[in-house]
Amino acid sequence: MTLRLFHSPASPYVRKVMVTAIERGVEDRIELLPSAAGPVKRDQTIVRHNPSGKVPSALLENDQPLFDSRVICAYVDSLASSGASVYPQDQRRFKVLMLEALADSILDACLLCRYERVMRPAELQWDDWYNGQMEKIDSGLDDLESRWFDDIVGEFHAGSIAAACTLGYLDFRFGDKDWRLSHPKLAAWFAEVSGRPSMEKTFPKG
């Protein structure tokens, strides 16, 4: 079965899906579809299947939609017929799901900061709003560095994939933010996992 995926090469959520697909050996079962998704002008082709109009959105062979990235990643994981799932089904399962949710919450704040500075006219930008989102990013990184770090390292599971894609997006869109200085363990881990073929092949563009 081929999964058709509306994508953007710069989307960290799409990157999560593609890293998962490569790690699970099912990249060849995904057909990438172009999109023009945006926070203001939505891609109506996507909206017909996913009312949010966001990427990633996916279609099964019968045009049944799949969204959002967490659902699509879980589905992609299920396509593999061998190898270890990136969603462990033992006592680690809910820790992995929590890690994925935490990384996604950091990404959500990143996107809001990005839209505030790039999409909103300068005279309408709200510094308190931007700073509030940055605080969410910082507190999320602090949690990854301290409370959750031992659960990230070792296996490259769904939570680790989400964390890696989040850190990659910070480098991609917020290059002036030195998150490494105050998060040395995360920085060392990210340098290591960035050399994985799945991470190198999905390096964001645009």
* 151-187 confidence digits (pLDDT tens): 999 899 999 999 999 999 999 999 999 999 999 999 9
pLDDT of 161: 98
pLDDT tens per residue across span 108-159:
999 999 999 999 999 999 999 999 999 999 999 999 999 999 999 989 999 9
Q: Are residues 63 and 104 in the same domain?
A: no
State pTM to two decimals: 0.97
The domain boundary residue, chosen from 57, 79, 101: 79
pLDDT tens per residue across span 23-40:
999 999 999 999 999 888
Q: Are residues 103 and 66 in the same domain?
A: no
Q: Which helix (H) or strand (E) covers residue 95, if one does?
A: helix 93-118
Q: Reduced to 3 states, what is the DSSP secondary structure of residue 3? A: strand
pLDDT at residue 199 above 80?
yes
Q: Does some domain include residue 174? A: yes
Total domains present in the chain: 2
Q: Are residues 178 and 115 in the same domain?
A: yes
Question: CB atoms < 10 A from the CB of 140, how many?
Answer: 22
Domain extent for 158: 93-197
